[in-house]
Each structure stands twice: as structure tokens, then as C-alpha cells.
């Protein structure tokens, strides 16, 4: 069961509307290394984790990713707010306008819709946790690319928060992997 | 959203962020006394602030995790993505 809390994990500000930046940013909503991929990946992998600590870490990090999904959606919503269709077209969002108006749709920066093919769920805890470590690094790199693409200080602030969370998640997944490895090794020794 | 509500919401965001971060830390360090003590402290403070906020400005959580005055206040805006958050500082 999940309970929605009517608040963002971190306040989202943008200094001005910027449809082009929204187009780049949408990849963290529905792209391969985005927050939707992260949430669905961890929340699907948790069922076959061998220890309580690993089930807990995947449940909790997966849930925090849902909060990040909402932060990205809010950024995109605010970057597109009030932008007229002719401006959307000029900024390379004519295709987005034709299908989605100013709505937030899970796709990557090129418009490719979100796919479960982005995630791996093998049922092997060592393989899954290694995928999660890589996923956090890919998300961190994407946030660094996005920070480099904008001069909007308000937006940069929110993106920096999200980047830092990827670093923390990487750390927690590393600790989880070590503990799971110990647990599986200890089990095999008897 | 008035200044008082915005300030209170920011306090809740700060406290809950502490709770989330400590929670993840405890998942991989379940035997850390100091972190657990801090987590319990933050959780107590957060629960009190949550309740005060909800009494003033309506439910933050639904599905029975809070109560509402008449009429059902859950559907009243602003929703999280509609808020103009005050400048940082």
C-alpha cells in the first residue's frame, strides 16, 4: 500500500518558462535513466531480495524515486506553463504539442515513450543490485548534463538536490550489496 | 498560499527529508544507536507538526491518515505542482 502525501519532497522553483529545457528534462520522467525507470526497477526487484535490509532498502529507495518523479513532473509543468503553441513549435516542441498539448507524458528527450525494456529484474539479488548501482550513476551523469544545459538558477537548485540523492542511493545500494553478498556467502558455507 | 502556510510547509519538508535520509541510512545500519535516536526524535517532531498543519490547512495525507473538516478539504488546491514556493533563503 502507498499513501500519497500532498507535498513535494523538495520545493520546485523555475525562474522562467523554458520549453526547450522541458524537452531535455522529460528524459528524467520517462527516459531510460529517469525516475520512472528507477522506481519501477527497485519496486519490482524487492520481492526476490533475500534479506529484510535489502527488501527495506529497495522499498524505501523505490518510494523516494516516486517522489522524484513528481519533482521532475512539476519542473516540466512549470517550464511549459503558459507557453503558446507557436512558441512550443519554435523551440522544438511542435510534436509534443500535437500529441500532448502542455501535458507531462513519460518519454525520453527525443519523444520515445517509456518502456519496461529499460529495466532489468533478474531475480538474482547480486545481479539486480549491481544494475541498481549502475542506474544511480547513469542518473547522476544525466543530472550533470541537465545542469550544464540550463542557466536557470532556480531550476539548477532542484536538479542539484536530485543529483545528490543519486549519490546517496548509490552509497546505500553499495552497502546493501556487501551485506547481501555476506549473507549469501555465509549460507553456502555450512 | 500565505506566508505562514508556506513557512510551515517548508519546516515539514525539512523534517521529512531528515526522516527519509535517516531511514535509508538505518536500512543499511540497523544497529546504529545515534541514527535511530535521531530518527525517532525527528519522527516525533514531524508527527506533531503534521497534525498542526492539517488542522490549519487541510489534510496532507488521505486514505484515513488524517481527518478533514467539512466540506472534504483534500480536493482544495493548491496541489504541490501549483505552488509558487518562496525564494530560497
**What would the pLDDT profile of B8-39 be if each residue is shown by its tens digit?**
999 999 999 999 999 999 999 999 999 999 99
pLDDT band at A137 (very low <50, low <70, confident <90, very high): very high
- Residue of A28, A68, A50, A66 lying closest to A129 (CA atoms): A50
- For residues A76 and A17, what is the distance between their CA atoms, to the nearest angstrom? 9
Instruction: Centre a 10 Å sphere on the Cβ of residue A28 and count the other Cβ atoms it contains.
Output: 28
Helix axes B3-28, A52-80, angle to 10 degrees: 150
Instruction: Centre a 10 Å sphere on the Cβ of residue B40 and count the other Cβ atoms it contains.
Output: 12
Whether pLDDT at B41 is above 60: yes
Substitution target in A6, A29, A53, A181 with the highest count of B β-carbons within 10 Å is A6
Substitution target in B17, B25, B27, B54 with the highest count of A β-carbons within 10 Å is B27
Backbone angles phi, psi at A72, to 5 degrees: -65, -45
Instruction: Out of A121-135, A163-177, B7-21, B62-76, pick the least confident.
Output: B62-76
Query: Are B88 and A13 an interchain contact pair (Cβ–Cβ within 8 Å)?
Result: yes
pLDDT band at B89 (very low <50, low <70, confident <90, very high): low
pLDDT tens sequence across A95-115: 999 999 999 999 999 999 999
Tell me what ipTM this predicted complex has: 0.96
pLDDT at A186: 77
Query: Are B21 and A168 an interchain contact pair (Cβ–Cβ within 8 Å)?
Result: yes
Give me the percent of chain A exceeding a pLDDT of 70: 98
Chain A residues bordering chain B (beta-carbon distance below 8 Å): 3-13, 53, 56-57, 60-61, 64, 70, 73-74, 77-78, 157, 168-169, 172, 175-176, 179
Whether pLDDT at B53 is above 90: yes
- For residues B78 and B85, what is the distance between their CA atoms, to the nearest angstrom? 11
3-class state of residue A113 by DSSP? strand
- For residues A39 and A61, what is the distance between their CA atoms, to the nearest angstrom? 8
Give me the percent of chain B exceeding a pLDDT of 70: 99
CB half-sphere exposure, A99, CA atoms < 13 A: 10
Residues contacting A99, CB < 8 A, separation 6+: A105
Query: Are B74 and A172 an interchain contact pair (Cβ–Cβ within 8 Å)?
Result: no
pTM exceeds cut of 0.95:
yes
Residue-range domains of chain A with CATH:
19-189 (1.20.1260.10)
Amino acid at each position: 500500500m502507498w499513501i500519497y502525501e500532498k507535498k513535494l519532497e523538495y520545493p520546485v522553483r523555475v525562474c522562467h518558462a523554458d520549453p526547450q529545457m522541458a524537452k531535455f528534462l522529460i528524459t528524467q520522467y520517462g527516459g531510460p535513466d529517469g525516475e520512472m525507470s528507477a522506481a519501477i526497477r527497485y519496486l519490482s526487484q524487492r520481492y526476490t531480495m533475500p534479506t529484510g535490509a535489502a527488501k527495506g532498502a529497495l522499498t524505501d529507495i523505490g518510494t523516494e524515486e516516486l517522489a522524484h518523479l513528481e519533482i521532475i513532473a512539476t519542473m516540466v509543468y512549470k517550464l511549459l506553463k503558459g507557453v503558446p503553441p507557436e512558441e512550443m513549435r519554435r523551440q522544438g516542441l511542435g510534436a509534443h504539442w500535437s500529441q500532448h498539448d502542455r501535458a507531462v507524458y513519460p518519454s525520453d528527450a527525443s519523444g520515445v515513450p517509456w518502456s519496461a525494456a529499460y529495466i532489468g529484474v533478474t531475480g538474482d539479488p547480486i545481479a539486480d543490485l549491481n544494475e541498481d548501482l549502475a542506474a544511480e550513476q547513469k542518473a547522476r551523469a544525466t543530472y550533470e548534463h541537465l545542469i550544464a544545459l540550463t542557466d536557470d538558477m532556480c531550476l539548477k537548485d532542484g536538479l542539484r538536490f536530485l543529483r545528490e540523492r543519486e549519490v546517496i542511493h548509490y552509497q546505500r545500494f553499495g552497502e546493501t550489496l556487501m551485506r547481501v553478498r555476506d549473507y549469501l556467502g555465509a549460507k553456502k558455507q555450512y | 498560499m500565505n506566508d505562514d502556510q508556506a513557512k510551515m510547509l517548508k519546516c515539514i519538508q525539512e523534517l521529512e527529508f531528515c526522516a527519509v535520509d535517516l531511514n535509508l541510512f538505518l536500512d543499511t545500519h540497523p544497529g546504529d544507536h545515534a541514527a535511530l535516536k535521531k530518527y525517532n526524535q525527528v519522527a516525533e517532531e514531524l508527527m506533531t507538526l503534521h497534525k498542526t498543519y492539517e488542522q490549519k490547512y487541510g489534510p496532507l495525507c488521505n486514505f484515513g491518515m488524517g481527518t478533514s473538516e467539512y466540506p472534504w478539504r483534500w480536493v482544495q488546491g493548491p496541489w504541490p505542482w501549483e505552488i509558487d514556493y518562496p525564494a530560497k533563503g
